[in-house]
Amino acid sequence: MLPFQLGLIDGPVHLVALGAHPDDIEIGCGGTLLKLAESVPELSAEFVIATGTPVRLEEARRAAELFLPDCEVTVTSAELPDGRLPAYWNQTKELLEATARGGNTGSGRRPDLVFAPSKHDAHQDHRLIAELAPTVWRNHLVLHYEIPKWDGDISRPWLYVELTEEQMQDKVALLHKAYPSQVPHDWFDGEVFSGLARLRGMECRATYAEAFTTAKATLTW
């Protein structure tokens, strides 16, 4: 398998991570966040979450701190209704546009990397965020993560981030620590998260991996 070098380690790195709900980002790319936090000396991030109750959003803030320790991280939410984002298209679009303008945090920083849900996700909230992200960040690398769910919508990704066994264990442990409200759900399970990562790891000849897609990228050397 041919490695694709992002070249993010030589200087400060700023990323934007988009989620329809609290826990989307950490489930979809939590291992990658941990790996970035370990390998990038100057890392900052903006987490943007469209929905969520005050309790859930407090969990999301805690999760951001746990997954990106010692990094400058902000968490913003529009607190839109869960499961109804397509009916709030304008508000959702403005949430992302405000982030791109720097209006949510005042940072105005151009991201080096944007994470968003998959365009093939069966959940309407996830799918709307996925469809809007490349229209807001047109000249950025947008990586679309996957979220396992009972809908059975797992697709065929082509970009992988290898994870060590320790990183995978940390991801599962931190998910449970950050989101106690979700632990009772049958899908919020370490075997589910590890099982998908093991499958993606097998596909890229690693033990564990998280998988992504992107609409387009430029190959340079």
CA 196 to chain centre: 16
pTM for the model stands at: 0.94
Locate the domains of the chain by residue range. Answer: 13-213
Q: Please state which CATH number belongs to domain 13-213.
A: 3.40.50.10320
pLDDT at site 90:
98
Task: Kindly state the tokens that stand for 119.
Answer: 């365009």
Q: For 44, which DSSP code?
A: E
Q: Give the pLDDT score at 3.
A: 72
Token readout for 56 is 């859930």
Residue 147 near residue 24, CB atoms below 8 Å = yes
Buried/exposed code over 198-218 (b: 16+ C-beta within 10 A; e: otherwise): bebbeebebebbbbbbeeeee
Block means of pLDDT (10 residues each) for the chain, length 221 residues? 67 93 98 95 95 96 96 95 97 96 66 95 97 95 95 91 98 98 94 98 97 87 74
pLDDT score at 84: 96
